[in-house]
Amino acid sequence: MLTIENLNASYGEMQVLRNISLAISAREIVSVVGSNGAGKSTMLKAISGIIKSSGTISFNGAPVSNLPPHLIVQRGIVHVPEGRKIFSEMTVVENLMMGGYLHQKEIKKNMERVLTIFPRLAERKKQLGGTMSGGEQQMLAIGRGLMGNPKLLLLDEPSLGLSPLFTDVVFSAIGEINTLGVTVLLVEQNVYQSLKISHRAYVIETGSIVLTGTGSELLNNQKVKTAFLGM
């Protein structure tokens, strides 16, 4: 579904992504795990057209590299950015409606889907986004992304800063979203939980992919255990 070959990206003189190649098949959950500063967010920004890159990115066989972000969204790639970025002065429902503005015909069906996946949001329909807890805001950010009818959902560190309880809720929701047919590219520093729910994963270090395998292969990899799992 998504194929990336030799992706390079820089901020000014500083090269951040170095020859990244990866592939995601329809209906997979693929994660890219790595430390803070490794280039995970930069990679998602390159895919969604927020920053320029060189190399090849193709989606369902068509090149999408360096297209403007709104055209990439139209193809079905929806990016839920790091740090949630919900509209704090809008209610839960208003935030969700904003996510669905390109898909008016399906807004009711998509809203029901989101409120089923996140019952907490259904209980808080009229609450202002800015008054919700971090975990609730993350649910809202993912929910808003789902309102855009993604074929491929890009999730940037959805568990960052969340309590263990909300972390579990968010990871299990990602599994549920995938079961409903949405392909997921997840980038995370929470290596253990990400590998546990991923079909396949890549490890990124200073802008390069250094390891790849199935989620369980990487969970059992000695290098991963030492570097990320404290074992």
Ligand X SMILES: Nc1ncnc2c1ncn2[C@@H]1O[C@H](COP(=O)(O)OP(=O)(O)O)[C@@H](O)[C@H]1O
CB of 100 to Mg ion, least distance (A): 26
**Residue 16, contacted partner among ligand X, Mg ion, none, CB below 5-8 A by kind:** ligand X
Q: By CB under 5 A, is residue 41 in contact with Mg ion?
A: yes
CB of 155 to Mg ion, least distance (A): 11
Nearer of residues 148 and 158 to Mg ion, judged by Cβ: 158
Helix (H) or strand (E) holding 115: helix 107-117
**Residue 44, contacted partner among Mg ion, ligand X, none, CB below 5-8 A by kind:** none
CB of 11 to ligand X, least distance (A): 3
Q: By CB under 6 A, is residue 203 in contact with ligand X?
A: no
Beta bridge partners of 9: 17
SS3 breakdown of the chain: % helix, strand, coil, rounded to 5?
40, 30, 30
Closest CA to 99 of 82, 116, 81, 124: 81
Q: By CB under 6 A, is residue 194 in contact with ligand X?
A: no
CB of 152 to Mg ion, least distance (A): 18
Q: By CB under 6 A, is residue 159 in contact with ligand X?
A: no
Nearer of residues 33 and 96 to Mg ion, judged by Cβ: 33
Nearer of residues 100 and 145 to ligand X, judged by Cβ: 145
| Interface of this chain with ligand X, residues 31 to 70, rule: CB under 6 A | 34, 36-42
Q: Tell which phi-psi region holds residue 195, choosing left (phi > 0), alpha (psi between -120 and 50) or beta.
A: alpha
Q: By CB under 6 A, is residue 13 in contact with ligand X?
A: no
Collapsed DSSP state (helix, strand, coil) of residue 16: strand
Nearer of residues 136 and 156 to ligand X, judged by Cβ: 156
Give the whole-angstrom CA distance, residue 96 versus residue 64: 26
Residues 6+ apart with CB under 8 A from 4: 20, 21, 22, 23, 47, 55, 56, 57
Give yes or no for a contact between 197 and 179, defined as CB atoms under 8 angstroms apart: no
Write out the residues near Mg ion by the rule CB under 5 A. 40-41, 82
Write out the residues near ligand X by the rule CB under 6 A. 11, 16, 34, 36-42
